[in-house]
Structure 1
Amino acid sequence: MTPGTELPDVGADGEGVTILVNPGSGTAVVRSDPLPTVRRRLPAARIVELDDGQRLDDAVADAFASSHPPRVLGILGGDGSVSRAAHLARAHEVPLLALAGGTFNHFARAAGIGAVDDALAAFAAGSLRSIAVAEVAVDGGDPVTVLNAVSLGAYPQFLAERTRRGSLGKWLGGVVATWQELRSARPIDIARDGRRARVWSVFVSVGRNDPDRHAMMQRAGLDDAVLDVRIHHARGSRLRAMASLAFGRRTLAVLRALRVLPPASEFERAVETRWEVRVGPDAAPDVFVHDGELEEVSRDGFTLAVRAVADGLRVYAP
């Protein structure tokens, strides 16, 4: 347990814990339903399965408005659901019990709770950690919690294209989206500190990340309260722009062998505690991404501000 992190008054059987379940997360990749295990290990927990179209925010608001509000907020879902639950747990000042149930589970893997059993074991042991997070805001609006990374440019464009082809499934939809982006991906314009640049993509990771990787989907550690910013300047082809989005080690090795990865001279890196950029108004995107979730923004341009927050979230993790 991190010094200064007080354990909540909850029972080992899950009394005082409310767990939200997103049944749509990772249905194509989760080989067995983890919910029976959760019910068996935490029989006294209140488990709420979201209905089709029900908002996580509304379910959490109902839970905290009840006569017995949760003392721990749990979530069974993918990166987007976990990220939103983390934001709500921070708002209500309760710890988060993150139960991996999505396609990639980037945050859960980084936290050492990539399997549901790992998170349940951390809860049983009272292993509660206070970790760094980030907050992202658009045009001075309300900040949103970020657990892994924020991205502008090619990756959001790819993700939006894959989402439009959701009926094909994530794998085939991803193949089609990649092909489409190889033909139509476009750079974006950004400005910061009096400098303007046309770039293929920007990634802002929570904490210092792998220096050899541009597409930082998953954070490298839990305690580093800084932002690792990577900018891919638009000096090369669309093929290089899409190749730079690879994040698997094997995929990177293959692309490096084929010599399609962009050279180091196309990239810029900075480590900051706060990073703010003006996007557009020329060549402005209509979406950005945080923790795999698409957010719509104005095509007329917008200001994106990200800041690191030390000890921003309490989470059960080894």
Structure 2
Amino acid sequence: MTKPEAVLEPRPTGAGVLIVRNRQSGRAVVRADPSEIIARRLPDARVHELADGELLSDVVMRALGGDDPPEVLGVLGGDGSVARMAHLARCRDLPLLVLPGGTFNHFARAVGIDDPDAAIEALVAGEGTPVTAAEVSTDGAEPITVLNAVSIGTYPHVIAEREDRMDDMGKWLGGVAATWHALREASPVTIAREGRRAKVWSVFVSVGENDPDRVALMQRQTIHDDLLDVRIHHARGSRLRAVASLAFGRRTTAILRAIGLMPPDSDVQRLVAPELTLSVRTAPGAPSVYVHDGELEDGMPRQYELHCRIVPDAVRVYAPRGASE
């Protein structure tokens, strides 16, 4: 699906651009430090590195309330940081500059940005596109902007367990330990939709239609598709299949399917709609959490209502020409 490219002002020196960097993003990935290229190519951009405990939103709101407010909001970080900045950009109707600096960079890759160079090229040339997003809210609270996906069930439980272990074990070892814990302890979640109740291992809600062969939808496949793509993995099989279904790489998914570890098609329900409302109830003793764009939302009541809706053309993003195709 092709949409008109956004009309964005070229910023050859970075004037009017605020870039907030989250060094905590992508700690498990070894990559070149982009500080030098940003300073060299965008000498007039303001770059702020988040301090420990400092909130991205606080930095942006201070800048917007200053004498020289930014005209472009940029972020160097992972999907969670990008989604938070996208929400602020939406609220102020400002364009978004995405410099990938996380572990997976799902959204950056979706808009054709593989590295900071590509983002800077688009900014300098004034190339961009409007991008569809989604909103998620729980129990009527203020909605959160979502760029890739929302999930409840086994995946958020793994993320919650991993975060508990990260300080001692690091992200990758913590993830292995969390996955092992899920193999022994994962519990189904009870959901209700339109009067029908079911026990499920997971629900994934993707922004835009996604690969029909996957259960775990973590990276969007389109940037203009004005629909939610929902996968509901019913709790009919083992915990092993529940954990195996979290594979999101095409090759890994194919291998697991070939050896019979992926859930059969009959266990996975697909819905495509502009919005979705679920009543969610976790098992006693299980964490009541959900994940959006890799960010864990914890402290939820044991039973809550989750609402997702699509938002067409939600944010204007600097992106290489052709990203709108």
**Fold conserved between structures, TM > 0.5:** yes
Residues 144-293 of structure 1: pairs in structure 2 closer than 5 A: 144-166=144-166, 167-280=168-281, 285-293=287-295
Q: What's the counterpart of residue 304 of structure 1?
A: 306
2-side partners of 1:285 and 1:226: how far apart? 29
2-side partners of 1:76 and 1:302: how far apart? 33
Q: What's the counterpart of residue 75 of structure 1?
A: 75
Residues 30 and 101, structure 1, Cα contact 8 Å, conserved in 2? no
Q: Over aligned residue pairs, what C-alpha RMSD do you find?
A: 1.5
1:246-289 deviation digits (Å, cap 9, x = unpaired): 01122112212221111000000010001011112766751100
Offset, 1:298: 2.9
Offset, 1:7: 2.1
Aligned amino acid, residue 227 of structure 1: L
SS at match of 1:20: strand
2-side partners of 1:159 and 1:27: how far apart? 16
TM-score (norm 1): 0.96
SS at match of 2:75: strand
* Distance 1:281-1:101 versus aligned 2 partners, 3 A rule: closer
Q: What's the counterpart of residue 119 of structure 1?
A: 119
* Distance 1:4-1:267 versus aligned 2 partners, 3 A rule: closer
Residues 35-114 of structure 1: pairs in structure 2 closer than 5 A: 35-114=35-114
2-side partners of 1:24 and 1:267: how far apart? 35
Residues 77 and 102, structure 1, Cα contact 8 Å, conserved in 2? yes
Question: Larger deviation: 113-122 or 269-278?
Answer: 113-122
Offset, 1:175: 1.0
Residues 282 and 288, structure 2, Cα contact 8 Å, conserved in 1? no
* Distance 1:17-1:2 versus aligned 2 partners, 3 A rule: farther
SS at match of 2:93: coil
Aligned amino acid, residue 254 of structure 1: I
1:141-176 deviation digits (Å, cap 9, x = unpaired): 100000000000000000111111102122111111
* Distance 1:105-1:114 versus aligned 2 partners, 3 A rule: same
Aligned residues: 317
Question: Larger deviation: 173-182 or 272-281?
Answer: 272-281
Aligned amino acid, residue 302 of structure 1: Y
2-side partners of 1:4 and 1:184: how far apart? 48
Residues 282 and 301, structure 1, Cα contact 8 Å, conserved in 2? no
Unaligned runs of 5+ in 2: 321-325
2-side partners of 1:234 and 1:16: how far apart? 51
SS at match of 2:74: strand
* Distance 1:68-1:37 versus aligned 2 partners, 3 A rule: same
Return the structure number with greater relative CO, CA threshold 8 A, min gap 6.
2
Segments of 4+ moved more than 6 angstroms: none
Question: Larger deviation: 24-33 or 111-120?
Answer: 24-33
Unaligned runs of 5+ in 1: none
2-side partners of 1:298 and 1:105: how far apart? 27
